[in-house]
Amino acid sequence: MSDTPFGFGLPPEEPENGDEGKKKDPTEGGQSAGGMGNPFGFGPGAGGDNPFAAMFGSMNPNDLGAAFQQLGQMLSYEGGPVNWDMAKQIARQTVSQGTPDGSKDASVGPSERASVDEALRLADLWLDGVTSMPSGSVSTVAWSRAEWVEATLPAWQQLVDPVAERVGLAMGEVLPEEMQAMAGPLIGMMRSMGGAMFGQQIGQAVGTLAGEVVGSTDIGLPLGPAGKAALLPLNVERFGKDLSVPQDEVRLYLALREAAHQRLFAHVPWLRSHLFGAVEAYARGIKVDTSKLEDVVGQFDPSQPEQLQDALQQGMFQPEDTPEQKASLARLETALALVEGWVDAVVHEAAKSRLTSSDALRETMRRRRASGGPAEQTFATLIGLQLRPRRLRDAARLWASLTDARGLEGRDALWAHPDMLPTAHDLDDPDGFVHHEQADFSELDKMLGEAAKGPQKPSESDEGKEDGKGGPEQ
């Protein structure tokens, strides 16, 4: 778990750009707009003790109007628990600043689009032979990082809003009823600024993630529009940069993973809502430290909004250590492991005889998931838990064993209903689950076969019993 869960930790610091730093006027101290080292833009900077200096940059007269307009937007925001307009703006700013290794976003050219389209279509053909599920891709797209941000924000909103909403409600519940009316304007201001601060943090996190992902399903959840198989050519190139693997093979392997995810989410209609519902159920278990929040409300100074940020970063929100909460986390981790394990198994089956580097690429992807790179850390910061399937290898081994025992259709049939899927206990004993399932399926096949034959014609003795002629006298 993250040390500062639920979206309140600092994102990774952006390294200094030596060339740009030399060109800056010494009077313009502080960081660039957006304050990558300070997610909400508060704290020391060009303005000394001015808490808004980092947010507003050098504050020269020409920028004052825009600065105060931004402040007005923060205080007047009356939307949901997160200021998503601000989140989008900050995410795009973060993308435009590039990644720590100096990689800058760029528009996708025609040749890159053609390569992505070809890879995704070829991947779909290969998958036809290793899964009973048909293609789930209606179209293929090649995204820039900025386009990825635009396309995935609706999914982020669905994931993050439950956490932020719980925080917002807590802000209004810490005061006694008789005081809430008097403190109404103050609470409203705190909620507005809380929405802005969430927007700042989420925007930076999503913008950072845009520099890491290679498609729309990297974290195991469907973030993009349904039916759109997507790759980010720039990030695909970065992924394979130090692997000593031909770029075409890297692109094809990642296309296989994206296309496999698309098939699963397209043809298991309950899966998306099941995963997002599990995230929301986990969020409902967040316990708010009301005593700490009461102190913040009682001492809140509108001229020092950084007080809210400090409170958010000091562990005000923690998961409840209850059996229900632990079970919720276990269900979510198991579901994600099963999704990733299935994708890992079918992609390996499709690639092993076609891509010479498939084993190396498979291991690279597994290590990327297991080690929790910047993408996983960023996501943990957003909603407060590690959305990384810790049992990927166990799940992949179970799906492979099911393929050997039941064939493609028998394996994929388990996705018909969530109650049919393996549990966390089954991942501990894959062989036991496979053999147990074989017995269950035999009985089920027998029942289905009898049902298919239709009702049997009753015998004469049965008819006699029914009309009272064939049974014993009463």
Confidence grade of residue 366 (pLDDT, cut at 50, 70, 90): confident
Tokens in use for 162?
């439950």
Which of the residue ranges 159-168, 319-328, 379-388, 408-417 has the most confident prediction, judged by mean pLDDT? Answer: 408-417
DSSP 145-181: HHHHHHHHHHHHHHHHHHHHHHHHHHHHHSS-HHHHH
The Cα–Cα gap between 92 and 207 comes to 6
Does position 163 have pLDDT exceeding 60, yes or no? yes
Amino acid identity at 8: F
Amino acid identity at 415: W
Confidence grade of residue 346 (pLDDT, cut at 50, 70, 90): very high
Amino acid identity at 400: A
pLDDT digits (tens, 9 = 90+) for 53-69: 444 455 555 555 555 55
Its pTM stands at 0.73
pLDDT digits (tens, 9 = 90+) for 375-401: 566 556 666 666 566 788 899 999 999
Average pLDDT, stretch 331-337? 89
Which range is least confidently modeled, 18-32, 192-206, 301-315, 439-453? 18-32
3-state secondary structure of 385: coil
Per-residue confidence (pLDDT) for residue 353, from 0 to 100: 96
Q: Which residue has the tokens 């507003």?
A: 56
Which range is least confidently modeled, 65-69, 139-143, 358-362? 65-69
Does position 408 have pLDDT exceeding 80, yes or no? yes
Q: Which residue has the tokens 């290969």?
A: 126
Q: Mean pLDDT, the chain, as a whole number?
A: 76
The Cα–Cα gap between 377 and 354 comes to 33
Domain ranges within the chain, ordered by starting residue: 84-392, 397-450
The Cα–Cα gap between 127 and 139 comes to 16
Average pLDDT, stretch 300-321? 58
Amino acid identity at 73: Q
